[in-house]
Structure 1
Amino acid sequence: MKLVNVTNSYKRLVNKQLENTDAYFVKVYSAGNTTVVYTEATQHAEILIVNKKRAVRKTEINEILKYLLKRIPKDKYDHDQISIIELKDVIEISIPISSALVEN
């Protein structure tokens, strides 16, 4: 699976996320019919996976999570604390951050 950065095609979504949430960083990726929204805030990171054509496969979830966890230093999160909520065509992954990713 290859994730393509399509953030520039989702300017309204990115602006709304930045304005209305505690996120300071938003990226949007595409993998065919699957859209991935990755957000970072000071105390958590969120991954939203959406595919309206079919259910998201477990292997896709694992690959996306592995790819995006590379952005976060390993000492900033506990893999056991990651929560995954699976709905019909939406997957939400929440990653609690132990200390701020960006120092003020």
Structure 2
Amino acid sequence: MKLVNVTNSYKQLVNKQLENTDAYFVKVYSAGNTTVVYTEAAQHVEILIVNKKRAVRKTEINEILAYVLKRIPKEKYDRDQISIIELKDVIEISIPMTSSLVES
């Protein structure tokens, strides 16, 4: 699966996320019919996976999670604390941070 950065096509969504949540960083990716919204905040990272045409596959969830975790230093999160909420066409992955991703 190849994730393509399509953040520029979702300016309104990104602005709303930044204005209405504690997020300081938002990126949107596309993998065909699957859209991934990656949000970073001081204490957590949230990943929203949406596919309106079919159910999101377990392999997609695992690949997207692996893609994101490669970019977060291992000492910043506890893998056992990651929660995944699965609904029909939406998956939410929450990764609590043990320390901030942004250095002060």
State the TM-score, normalizing by the size of structure 2: 0.98
Structure 1 residue aligned with 2:10: 10
Structure 1 residue aligned with 2:67: 67
Gaps of 5+ in 2: none
How many residues matched? 104
Structure 2 residue aligned with 1:50: 50
Q: Distance in 2 between matches of 1:86 and 1:77?
A: 21
Q: Distance in 2 between matches of 1:27 and 1:85?
A: 20
Give matches, 1:1-104, under 5 Å. 1-104=1-104
C-alpha distance after superposition, 1:14-47 (max 9, x if no partner): 0000011000000000000000000000000000
Q: Distance in 2 between matches of 1:17 and 1:67?
A: 22
Question: In the TM superposition, what is the alpha-carbon distance from 1:70 to its structure 2 partner?
Answer: 1.5
Q: Distance in 1 between matches of 2:100 and 2:65?
A: 20
C-alpha distance after superposition, 1:49-102 (max 9, x if no partner): 000000000000000000011221000001110000000000000000001110
Displaced runs of 4 or more, over 4 A: none
Q: Which amino acid aligns with 1:80?
A: D
SS at match of 1:84: strand
Q: CA RMSD in A?
A: 0.5
State the TM-score, normalizing by the size of structure 1: 0.98
Q: Distance in 1 between matches of 2:18 and 2:42?
A: 13
